[in-house]
Amino acid sequence: MTDAIVERPIVPTEHRPDRAAHEVGHKVAPLLLTEQSHFCPGCGEPIAARTILENLVELGVAGQSVAVLGIGCYTAMASSFDIDTVQALHGRAPSVATGVKRMKPDSIVFTLQGDGDMVNEGLQEVLHTAARGESVTAILLNNGVFGETGGHMTATSVLGQRTKNTIDGRDAEYHGYPIRIADLIAQLDGVAYVARGSVHSPGAIAKTKKMVHKALQMQVERKGFSFVEILTMCPTGWFIPTIEGPQYMDDTLGQVHTMGELEVRG
Amino acid sequence: MTRRLMEGSEAIVEAAIAAGCRFFTGYPMTPFTEVLEHFSKRLPEVGGVCINAESELEAIGMTWGAAATGARAATGSVGQGLSLMQESIAEMALARVPIVVFNMSRGQSDYFQATRGGGHGDYRTIVLAPMDVSEAVELTQLAFHLADRWRNPVLVYGDFLIAHTSEAIDVQPIDFGPLPDKDWGIDGSTSGTGRSRMITSIGIGKAHSPTSGIIGHFEGIAPHLAAMQAAEARVETGFVDDADHIVVAFGTAGKFVRYVVGKMRADGVRVGYVRPITLWPFPEDAVARASEGKRAVMVFENSAGQLIDDVKISVLGRAPVIPIGGISTDASGFGVGDMYDAEVIRGRIEAVLAGQEVTS
Amino acid sequence: MKVLTRGTVTVDVEQCKGCDMCIPACPPGVLSMSREVNGRGYRFPILHPGCTGCQACQQICPDWVFEVFRYEEPIELEVPES
């Protein structure tokens, strides 16, 4: 906890300003049915969700959007998103999204999955959906652990990462190596856009939001499969104080799952 | 009435299309492959979609998505391929997603998988078992109707014989009556309206209309299954009332038994048959009534003995239940073997009538 | 000492789960955590002079705590010599 209380004057923040001012941005992300969110303190997933929801509104496709959610902490968003939603089984979201989009070609379909859902359980699904060039956008929330079960190793956990079932740190000989899913997907011809961003700082969030914008734009322009991997913080699953989440993410996941745009079809 | 000679696989596809099926996906596997072939040719011609699935896991996932939009969607395989789909089929029953699944089985040893389900939890799927190509055309269309009526997966249990027997068929759409509007179909149109919708198997609704949650959702499944069971059992019986013995058999095996019993009746032998058309709900009452006062109830199935369980449950001691089927396949293991022979079947029935031991 | 202040925020104290991430994320460093706790036992951010209305806090907040405003005319706020 940053307890260095600086004896600086406090500006009241209960009420809106009494002098001439205009609001910028929104307190709550758009397209939400409730402000309540039951994520752990310091969780990166709602931050990532905001970048998606804001893009759907800004692209003017909110009224035709369909969310297909995998199984993980973010599954709770299924009930709070004011978006037509199909809840998929663990790992199957890209296939479900394919079926939705093939039947409703004018909808804007995106999946929301975690690293356990996509890179463990549903690796086959996302690769084949990408190879088929399905006009859907897959969004991966990668925090390098199974958050919902309390912090266990996934296929993207980095070497040395401590989890409930790699208590002394992930060891290559024993636990194998992490999969860089965005790099795998970027190899496939059916892909129009692949990028990897994160939400560990305002700057990174702004970049991620642009990536999600481009990915959804590719879908709007029917250029093929689009994919954005978003590194998110999971202090609970990393067993660290919430304040250390952003730096820990940058020092571990960020070093292996390097950020940037990997494929941008012309 | 313009009939055309076509193999069963093609007739099934024409029937599905006549019923409004506009999405299919599958992975090749004998003897299911031709169903996929015909769909992949015909669906694009009628504005539908047929995807060559990279595996049965993708297939059942894509079918889920297509059906979630309200489209009539189907998939299929053989028992082995359906094993890979069980998790999704079970969850789709809980998510109330209507799909049709074709099992072009290698014999009848997928009976348990079809009727008990290989998935998890309390769920059932209606299972329709045609005995030949013309009945397959009717039951395929009925399958889409029942799937929508109950918002539940429905299986069509075919086999090698049905897939590859050719018949002169005139496939016409069948009207099974009105169905409620599919206002639940997901298409994005209520996104951002405060009334967005959700298809989920875990029973947690949208925040704007909280459901009874997981507990209420699972509790709601039991009456749904009971209602399906009470409403949808279908059976065909023949010569049962004055028979001393009856034979229970389904599907293509049922057609052989039906023929053999007819021949024996012509020779004055008092034998009857019961042919379940729905494997689930199993026609327990019909089998129970038919077994009243009989010297024996025979079960003829192409497996090591699965249908016989349901027969025993229905007969409940009213008469001895005697298996006269067995495993019978050809050298490729794909089809049906030499047991599907009227004389062989007649011989086994006569052995029981004469009190002899039946060796399958 | 006068500090130029271009904007301000409101803090929805009860929404906050005390994750602290807004504190280092604030470019001018004008947020710090309270000593008091909200109804759920979490400390929450308090604001000091010098806010620029840049929305960094709002963007990184996982719990929708901040509204952000920009004054039509920047103001000067008094702060003690540090």
B102 pLDDT band, cuts 50/70/90, is very high
Closest CA to A44 of A202, A189, A158, A261: A202
The answer to whether residue A28 sits within a structural domain is: no
Contact state of B57 with A95 under an 8 Å Cβ cutoff: yes
In which region does residue C42 sit, left (phi positive, over 0), alpha (psi from -120 to 50) or beta (all else)? beta
B212 pLDDT band, cuts 50/70/90, is confident
Give the C-alpha separation, B206 to B220, whole Å. 18
Longest CA pairwise span in chain A (Å): 63
Q: Higher model confidence: residue B331 or residue B102?
A: B102
Contact (CB, 8 A) for B231 and A121: no
- The full set of domain ranges for chain C reads 2-78
Alpha helices in A93-187 (DSSP H): 93-103, 115, 123-131, 172-175, 181-186
Each of the 266 residues of chain A gets a pLDDT tens digit; together they read 555 555 789 999 999 999 999 999 999 999 999 999 899 999 999 999 999 999 999 999 999 999 999 999 999 999 999 999 999 999 999 999 999 999 999 999 999 999 999 999 999 999 999 999 999 999 999 999 999 999 999 999 999 999 999 999 999 999 999 999 999 999 999 999 999 999 999 999 999 999 999 999 999 999 999 999 999 999 999 999 999 999 999 999 999 999 999 999 87
Q: Does A97 touch chain B (CB under 8 A)?
A: yes
**Residue in C65, C71, C78 nearest the CB of A20:** C71
CATH number at residue A105: 3.40.50.970
The answer to whether residue A8 sits within a structural domain is: no
Give contacts of C79 with chain A, Cβ < 8 Å.
8-9
Amino acid B10: pLDDT: 98
Alpha helices in chain B (DSSP H): 8-18, 33-45, 56-68, 79-83, 86-95, 111-116, 133-150, 160-164, 213-232, 251-266, 284-291, 307-315, 342-353
Tokens of B332: 């490729």
The answer to whether residue A35 sits within a structural domain is: no
* pLDDT reading at B359 higher than 90: no
**Residue in C8, C17, C47 nearest the CB of A41:** C17
Tokens of B225: 């299954």
B302-314 pLDDT per residue, tens: 999 999 999 999 9
Give the C-alpha separation, A181 to A123, whole Å. 9
Amino acid C80: pLDDT: 87
Mean pLDDT by 10 residues, chain C (82 residues): 96 97 97 97 97 97 98 93 72
Closest CA to B67 of B185, B180, B150: B185
Q: Does C58 touch chain A (CB under 8 A)?
A: yes
Q: B271 CB contacts (<8 Å, ≥6 apart)?
A: B239, B243, B244, B245, B246, B247, B261, B264, B265, B349, B353
Count of the separate structural domains present in chain A: 1
**In the CATH scheme, what is the code of domain C2-78?**
3.30.70.20
Smallest Cα distance from C3 to chain A, Å:
11
Q: How many CA atoms lie within 13 A of B257 on its CB side?
A: 30
Contact state of A104 with B197 under an 8 Å Cβ cutoff: no
Q: For B113-122, B179-188, B290-299, B326-335, which range has the lowest pLDDT when averaged over its residues?
A: B326-335
Q: Do strands B198-199 and A84-87 pair parallel, antiparallel, or not at all (unpaired)?
A: parallel
Longest CA pairwise span in chain C (Å): 37
In which region does residue A152 sit, left (phi positive, over 0), alpha (psi from -120 to 50) or beta (all else)? beta
Q: Does A167 touch chain C (CB under 8 A)?
A: no
- The total of other beta-carbon atoms located within 10 Å of residue B356's CB is 10
Contact (CB, 8 A) for C35 and C74: no
Closest CA to C22 of A238, A42, A210: A42
Buried b (16+ CB within 10 A) or exposed e, A86-104: bbbbbbbbbbbbbbbbbbb
Give the C-alpha separation, B82 to B105, whole Å. 10
B336 pLDDT band, cuts 50/70/90, is confident
Contact state of A102 with B51 under an 8 Å Cβ cutoff: yes
- Three-state DSSP at B260 gives helix
> What CA dihedral angle connects A131, A135, A136 and A139, to 10 degrees?
60
Judged on CB neighbours under 10 Å (0-12, 13-18, 19+), A133 is middle
Contact state of C80 with A16 under an 8 Å Cβ cutoff: no
Domains annotated for chain B, with CATH where assigned, are: 4-169 (3.40.50.970), 234-353 (3.40.50.920)
**Residue in A2, A17, A44 nearest the CB of C8:** A17
Give contacts of A29 with chain C, Cβ < 8 Å.
64
**Packed helices B251-266 and B342-353: angle between N→C axes, nearest 10 degrees:** 60
Contact (CB, 8 A) for B45 and B168: no
Amino acid A3: pLDDT: 52
Is chain A in touch with chain C: ≥3 Cβ pairs within 8 A? Answer: yes
Give contacts of A104 with chain B, Cβ < 8 Å.
69, 186-188
Please state the separation of Cα A156 from the chain's center in Å: 14
Closest CA to A68 of A100, A43, A107: A100
List the domain range (segments joined by +) for residue A63.
45-264
Amino acid B44: pLDDT: 98
Average pLDDT, integer, range B85-110: 97
Give the C-alpha separation, B182 to B185, whole Å. 6
Q: Does A14 touch chain C (CB under 8 A)?
A: yes
- Give CA separation, A116 vs A112, A179, B237, in Å: 12, 11, 52
């149109």: which residue's tokens? B189
| Best to test chain A binding among B52, B69, B72, B212 (most A CBs inside 10 Å) | B69
Average pLDDT, integer, range B186-204: 96
Give the C-alpha separation, C23 to C32, whole Å. 6
Q: Give the predicted TM-score (pTM) of the model.
A: 0.96
Contact state of B51 with A34 under an 8 Å Cβ cutoff: no
